[in-house]
Amino acid sequence: MNFSSDTSAPAHPAVLEALLKANTGAASSYGADKVTQRLRARLAEVFEADEFDFWLVASGTAANALALACFCPPTSSIICHREAHIQMDERGAPEFFTGGGKLHLMDGEGAKIDFDPLKDYLDDFDPRNVHATPPAVLSLTNLTECGRAYTPAEIARLAQRAKYASLAVHLDGARLGNALAHTGATPAEMTWKAGVDVLTLGLTKTGAIGCEIILLFGAAKSKGRELQARAKRAGHMPAKMRFLAAQAEAMLEGGLWLQLAAHANAMAQKVAAAFVEDGHDLAWPVEGNEIFVTLDEQAFNDLQEDGAQFYEWPGGSHRFVCSWATTQKDIDDLAASLGRSMRR
């Protein structure tokens, strides 16, 4: 009953098989190998994109910080939600990698940025005021930190306003697969077609060992060399890049990442149903693989006693996360534990 995080899940066997396949003979280093080249073609297909560039790193924090640094000068800011991972959980990496760029925090329910305050802020911002920090990037997260899914239309509306103010648009897609599985949108619809310039696509939570892809779409492709240079300087230029590319290739092959995300989402619906049946309130609608539920002390203690693993979450709720590896038995065990707790 490990619902602590999708990062607690093992790697999918297809990823391990791909690593073994890539482990034959010598290959060019630093991304010049055949597997990384094949991945370019696969990404073009998956994202229906002709114009793009990409880079591979092993952590989401590195992906976000490197991506943002390409678009935010040290004297500018990145607009993000108050609860965004880049604000709450990256130990100042975006500020560090941008060389001092500031995060400008916005509000919105379910960790989604509200359109009106964003519009008001951008309308009112006076670029002639040398004392104020001009925004350079709008950063959105899908799934959000509350497990909510933006639709492509919601992203497009925010992105359009941001672009009107000449901002670049970044999407933290640590759980993009889950958002796509929930909304039914295509990867292209959720990203560059909605105005996203730079995507950090997480595959680690979906089933890889450690593989995050930074994608630069359309005109943002011109930042490709800068991204590489920044990755090198930051120590994120893996010499044996083929092993990161092999993970990505395995995940994208035949839409595996979306199938795994859909499984995790379906399991999350079952977890949510078990809580609701047991009389607990969900903090947010479940739109992906994360469940935020408010547990009373009794249920909290009983679940822990029965070995359930989950996190207490800021704001008073408890977070349960499903993954590709969550089984019906995990759900049954959780429901049984909740049932026992109710009878005590």
Ligand X SMILES: Cc1ncc(COP(=O)(O)O)c(C=O)c1O
Secondary structure E strands in 46-131: 52-57, 77-81, 102-106
| Nearest to 55, CA basis, from 225, 253, 175 | 225
Instruction: Among 18, 55, 57, 61, indicate the residue that binds ligand X (CB under 6 A).
Output: 61
> Is 139 an interacting residue with respect to ligand X (CB under 6 A)?
no
Q: Give the interface segment with ligand X, choosing from 56-64, 228-236, 270-278, 327-335 (CB under 6 A).
A: 56-64
> Is 319 an interacting residue with respect to ligand X (CB under 6 A)?
no
Q: What value, to the nearest 5°, has the Cα angle with vertex 266 and ends 169 and 292?
A: 65
Q: How many of the chain's residues bind ligand X (CB under 6 A)?
A: 10
* Residue 238: partners with Cβ closer than 8 Å, 6 or more residues away: 30, 56, 57, 58, 244
Q: Give the interface segment with ligand X, choosing from 59-67, 187-195, 284-292, 318-326 (CB under 6 A).
A: 59-67
Give me the residue whose beta carbon is nearest to ligand X: 60
Instruction: Among 36, 76, 141, 183, indicate the residue that binds ligand X (CB under 6 A).
Output: 141
- For 299, the enclosing helix (H) or strand (E) is helix 297-305
Q: Least distance in Å: CB of 220 to ligand X? A: 19
> Is 4 an interacting residue with respect to ligand X (CB under 6 A)?
no
- Measured on CA atoms in the order 176, 181, 187, 189, is the torsion positive or negative? negative
Sheet holding 135-141, edge to edge: 52-57, 212-217, 198-202, 168-173, 135-141, 77-81, 102-106
Instruction: Among 33, 53, 95, 172, indicate the residue that binds ligand X (CB under 6 A).
Output: 172
| Nearest to 36, CA basis, from 280, 250, 242 | 242
- Interface characters, 23-42, with ligand X (x: CB under 6 A): --------------------
Q: What's CA 59's distance to the chain center, in Å?
A: 11
* Residue 282: partners with Cβ closer than 8 Å, 6 or more residues away: 272, 275, 276, 291, 292, 293, 294
Instruction: Among 15, 46, 60, 287, indicate the residue that binds ligand X (CB under 6 A).
Output: 60
d(CA 304, CA 66): 38
> Is 174 an interacting residue with respect to ligand X (CB under 6 A)?
yes
Residue number with CB closer to ligand X (141 or 289): 141
Q: Give the interface segment with ligand X, choosing from 40-48, 55-63, 295-303, 304-312 (CB under 6 A).
A: 55-63
Q: What's the helix, strand, coil split of the chain in %, to 5?
A: 45, 15, 35
d(CA 215, CA 254): 20
Q: Least distance in Å: CB of 93 to ligand X? A: 8
Q: What's CA 241's distance to the chain center, in Å?
A: 21
Residue number with CB closer to ligand X (18 or 179): 179
- Interface characters, 177-216, with ligand X (x: CB under 6 A): ---------------------------x------------
Q: How many CA atoms lie within 13 A of 279 on its CB side?
A: 8
Q: Least distance in Å: CB of 152 to ligand X? A: 18
Residue number with CB closer to ligand X (87 or 337): 87
Cβ contact 199:171 at 8 Å:
yes
Residue number with CB closer to ligand X (59 or 259): 59
Q: Least distance in Å: CB of 339 to ligand X? A: 31
Q: Least distance in Å: CB of 295 to ligand X? A: 21
- Which residue has 């005590």 as its token pair? 344
- Residue 256 has phi, psi (to 5 degrees) of -55, -45
Residue number with CB closer to ligand X (31 or 60): 60
Residue number with CB closer to ligand X (141 or 341): 141
> Is 59 an interacting residue with respect to ligand X (CB under 6 A)?
yes
Interface contacts to ligand X, rule CB under 6 A:
59-61, 64, 85, 141, 145, 172, 174, 204
